[in-house]
Amino acid sequence: PTVLELHNVTKQYQQQTVPAINQVSLQLRQGELLALLGPSGCGKTTLLRTIAGFENPEKGWIELAKQPVCGQGTTLPPERRDVGIVFQDYALFPHLCVIDNVSFGLKHLGRHRRLPNAQIQTLAQEAISLVGLAGFERRYPHELSGGQQQRVALARALAPRPSLVLLDEPFSNLDVQVRLYLRQEVRSILKGVGASGIFVTHDQQEALAIADRVAVMRAGRIEQLASPEEIYEQPASQFIADFVTQANFLKAQRSAGGWKTALGLVDTAMVNPTDATQGMLMLRQEELYLKAVETDAEMVLVICDREFLGREYKYTLNHPSLGKLKARTPIRFATGDTVQVSVKPNPYGLRVFV
């Protein structure tokens, strides 16, 4: 079943000339985890705030569990929507201990307000155990690490047992290591309780790693909404290809023998079928094959920078007329080495963007 449906939702702030979110439509299935991915300022937070009820859209409508919550003459306030929220900065009350932070919403907001105190304590305790903080009930936020504070924020969002949890860049204030395991844990906690989730991120790896589907946003619109694999293998636009994979783009022209590029002819069979006769050929960093050559060979690129990534290196290559290219390979070169670059086929086909 569908837990959330947005239909052509548009929200424009008063001082702005363009809408912060523009004609956004999407459906979220029960238990699904969706990532909202996009550069800063593209409207991710505004979209979450609109779903939560903190912003009121000018156009379109939203349904939660098949009930309209805004548009079409209704506006349900945030506390009456069956939605839990986790903010980027945790937004914990500094003067309340863990269990009081977690039970705050149960005592003061929404449909749980009239629960007996004993039951509120039980719900809060359950949420605290769920996020692995049993034993920390009487700690104050300043006595917790960043990762633990974010767990408290998650427990607070989960305590009323919402069917939908919204998380706005929940891991961005955390150390890399904490971020890597907490994102996996948040996914399994949400899956465990069967809640649907939408989490905002500007980190493409994070989105691809833990979401069931990814919505890539650009300037207020959703440019592609698909599985992580599809986003990676079949990006819908050059913008997405650039943002998600930091690929190289080479001018390419179709000819009888294949696609002509500065790196030579690329076999037509290696490229996804297209009607275009010219465009930009997308080459992922791992799709470039580097071969050491003498400095005076034809079409030579110079390795001007390298990063060691463990199982491979990431090289920046320079060519006087072509500019810079990025390549990843386990083969070791030194900066200053000269190489020739050829294109490797991939199982899902190279793409040309017009």
For binding to Mg ion (CB under 5 A), which residues are involved? 45
Q: Does 56 bind ligand ADP (CB under 6 A)?
A: no
Question: In a 3-state reduction of DSSP, which class is residue 349?
Answer: coil
Report the distance separating Cα 159 and Cα 154, nearest Å. Answer: 9
Question: Rounded to the nearest whole angstrom, what is the least distance from the CB of residue 202 to ligand ADP in the complex?
Answer: 7
Residue with tokens 């050559």: 293
Q: Does 42 bind ligand ADP (CB under 6 A)?
A: yes
Name the one range near ligand ADP by CB under 6 A: 26-34, 43-51, 141-149, 182-190. Answer: 43-51
Q: Does 20 bind ligand ADP (CB under 6 A)?
A: yes
Show Cβ contacts of residue 203 under 8 Å, excluding neighbours closer than 6 positions.
Answer: 37, 172
Report the residue from 22, 45, 163, 248 that binds ligand ADP according to the rule CB under 6 A: 45
Report the residue from 8, 25, 29, 41 that binds ligand ADP according to the rule CB under 6 A: 41
Report the residue from 1, 15, 116, 311 that binds ligand ADP according to the rule CB under 6 A: 15
Q: Does 196 bind ligand ADP (CB under 6 A)?
A: no
Binder of residue 46, out of Mg ion, ligand ADP, none (CB less than 5 to 8 A by kind): ligand ADP
Whole-Å CA distances, 182 to 185, 212, 274, 313: 5, 17, 42, 27
Show Cβ contacts of residue 172 under 8 Å, excluding neighbours closer than 6 positions.
Answer: 88, 179, 201, 202, 203
Helices (H), 211-348: 228-233, 238-245
Using the minimum distance from each CB to Mg ion, give the nearer residue, 199 or 259.
Answer: 199
Report the distance separating Cα 26 and Cα 175, nearest Å. Answer: 32
Binder of residue 16, out of Mg ion, ligand ADP, none (CB less than 5 to 8 A by kind): ligand ADP
- Binding footprint of ligand ADP on the chain (CB under 6 A): 13, 15-16, 20, 38, 40-46
